Amino acid sequence: MTPEFVSTGNQWERRFGYARIARAGDLVLVGGTVAIDPDGSPHAPGDAGAQATRCFEIIERALGQCGLSRTNVLRSRVFVTDMAQAERVGEAHKRFFDGHTPGHTPALTQVGVSALIAPEFVVEIECDAHA
Protein backbone atom coordinates (compact mmCIF):
# COMPACT_ATOMS: atom_id res chain seq x y z
CA MET A 1 0.00 0.00 0.00
CA THR A 2 1.37 3.38 -1.04
CA PRO A 3 1.00 6.15 1.53
CA GLU A 4 -0.79 9.36 0.58
CA PHE A 5 0.23 12.75 1.97
CA VAL A 6 -2.06 15.79 2.09
CA SER A 7 -0.76 19.30 2.70
CA THR A 8 -2.73 22.38 3.66
CA GLY A 9 0.18 24.51 2.45
CA ASN A 10 0.87 26.38 5.68
CA GLN A 11 4.23 27.95 6.41
CA TRP A 12 5.45 25.21 8.77
CA GLU A 13 4.56 22.36 6.44
CA ARG A 14 6.77 23.92 3.76
CA ARG A 15 9.49 24.95 6.20
CA PHE A 16 9.83 21.61 8.01
CA GLY A 17 8.83 19.26 5.17
CA TYR A 18 5.74 17.53 6.48
CA ALA A 19 2.13 16.97 5.48
CA ARG A 20 -1.00 17.72 7.48
CA ILE A 21 -2.27 14.19 6.81
CA ALA A 22 -0.52 10.89 6.21
CA ARG A 23 -2.79 8.09 5.02
CA ALA A 24 -2.07 4.42 4.47
CA GLY A 25 -5.17 2.44 3.60
CA ASP A 26 -7.79 3.02 6.27
CA LEU A 27 -5.32 4.60 8.72
CA VAL A 28 -5.41 8.40 8.64
CA LEU A 29 -3.03 10.43 10.83
CA VAL A 30 -3.47 14.18 11.22
CA GLY A 31 -0.28 15.92 12.32
CA GLY A 32 -0.03 18.58 14.99
CA THR A 33 -2.24 21.53 14.08
CA VAL A 34 -2.09 25.02 15.55
CA ALA A 35 -4.65 27.79 15.05
CA ILE A 36 -3.50 29.64 11.94
CA ASP A 37 -5.73 32.11 10.13
CA PRO A 38 -5.89 32.02 6.30
CA ASP A 39 -3.36 34.88 6.11
CA GLY A 40 -0.85 32.82 8.14
CA SER A 41 -1.22 34.78 11.35
CA PRO A 42 -2.00 33.19 14.72
CA HIS A 43 -5.73 32.91 15.46
CA ALA A 44 -6.90 34.37 18.80
CA PRO A 45 -3.47 34.48 20.50
CA GLY A 46 -3.68 33.12 24.03
CA ASP A 47 -7.34 31.98 23.82
CA ALA A 48 -7.30 28.19 24.18
CA GLY A 49 -11.00 27.69 23.42
CA ALA A 50 -10.93 29.76 20.24
CA GLN A 51 -7.66 28.18 19.15
CA ALA A 52 -9.00 24.66 19.68
CA THR A 53 -12.06 25.51 17.59
CA ARG A 54 -9.85 26.87 14.80
CA CYS A 55 -7.57 23.81 14.94
CA PHE A 56 -10.58 21.54 14.46
CA GLU A 57 -11.72 23.64 11.47
CA ILE A 58 -8.30 23.21 9.86
CA ILE A 59 -8.32 19.49 10.62
CA GLU A 60 -11.77 19.03 9.14
CA ARG A 61 -10.81 20.90 5.96
CA ALA A 62 -7.74 18.68 5.58
CA LEU A 63 -9.81 15.53 6.17
CA GLY A 64 -12.20 16.79 3.48
CA GLN A 65 -9.30 16.74 1.01
CA CYS A 66 -9.26 12.95 1.60
CA GLY A 67 -13.03 12.62 1.29
CA LEU A 68 -13.38 12.29 5.08
CA SER A 69 -14.93 14.36 7.86
CA ARG A 70 -14.91 14.77 11.63
CA THR A 71 -17.01 11.61 11.96
CA ASN A 72 -13.96 9.59 10.83
CA VAL A 73 -11.90 10.78 13.82
CA LEU A 74 -11.30 8.16 16.51
CA ARG A 75 -8.86 10.00 18.77
CA SER A 76 -7.71 13.54 19.48
CA ARG A 77 -4.51 14.53 21.25
CA VAL A 78 -4.44 18.08 22.54
CA PHE A 79 -1.33 19.84 23.77
CA VAL A 80 -2.09 22.85 26.00
CA THR A 81 0.40 25.32 27.43
CA ASP A 82 -1.90 26.26 30.34
CA MET A 83 -3.88 23.39 31.84
CA ALA A 84 -6.08 25.97 33.59
CA GLN A 85 -7.64 26.36 30.12
CA ALA A 86 -8.20 22.62 29.64
CA GLU A 87 -11.93 22.99 30.34
CA ARG A 88 -12.32 25.43 27.43
CA VAL A 89 -10.46 23.07 25.14
CA GLY A 90 -12.62 20.14 26.26
CA GLU A 91 -15.76 22.19 25.58
CA ALA A 92 -14.52 23.00 22.05
CA HIS A 93 -13.84 19.28 21.50
CA LYS A 94 -17.34 18.36 22.61
CA ARG A 95 -18.98 21.04 20.43
CA PHE A 96 -16.99 19.97 17.40
CA PHE A 97 -17.68 16.26 17.66
CA ASP A 98 -20.69 15.43 19.83
CA GLY A 99 -22.38 18.76 19.05
CA HIS A 100 -22.25 18.03 15.33
CA THR A 101 -22.98 14.30 15.47
CA PRO A 102 -24.51 13.32 18.82
CA GLY A 103 -22.87 10.21 20.18
CA HIS A 104 -19.65 10.68 18.17
CA THR A 105 -17.23 11.07 21.06
CA PRO A 106 -13.65 10.22 20.02
CA ALA A 107 -11.07 9.37 22.63
CA LEU A 108 -9.38 12.51 23.97
CA THR A 109 -6.04 13.10 25.63
CA GLN A 110 -5.01 16.53 26.90
CA VAL A 111 -1.37 17.07 27.79
CA GLY A 112 0.20 20.11 29.42
CA VAL A 113 3.34 21.31 27.66
CA SER A 114 5.72 24.16 28.34
CA ALA A 115 5.61 25.69 24.85
CA LEU A 116 4.48 25.23 21.25
CA ILE A 117 5.98 26.42 17.92
CA ALA A 118 5.41 30.12 18.76
CA PRO A 119 4.34 31.85 21.98
CA GLU A 120 1.00 33.03 20.51
CA PHE A 121 -0.14 29.42 20.21
CA VAL A 122 -1.50 27.81 23.37
CA VAL A 123 -3.12 24.73 21.78
CA GLU A 124 -1.96 22.14 19.26
CA ILE A 125 -4.13 19.22 18.17
CA GLU A 126 -3.48 16.00 16.30
CA CYS A 127 -6.02 13.32 15.41
CA ASP A 128 -6.17 9.71 14.34
CA ALA A 129 -8.95 8.71 11.99
CA HIS A 130 -10.13 5.81 9.86
CA ALA A 131 -11.33 5.83 6.28
Tens of pLDDT along the chain (131 residues) come to: 899 999 888 888 888 999 999 999 999 999 999 999 999 899 999 999 999 999 999 999 999 999 999 999 999 999 999 999 999 999 999 999 999 999 999 999 999 999 999 999 999 999 999 99
Enter the CATH code of domain 4-130. 3.30.1330.40
Among residues 118, 123, 50, 51, the alpha carbon closest in space to that of 83 is found at 123
Looking at residue 71, what DSSP letter applies? G
pLDDT of residue 1: 83
pLDDT of residue 43: 97
Burial label for 4, CB within 10 Å (0-12, 13-18, 19+), is middle
Task: Let me know: does 79 contact 32? Beta carbons within 8 Å.
Answer: yes
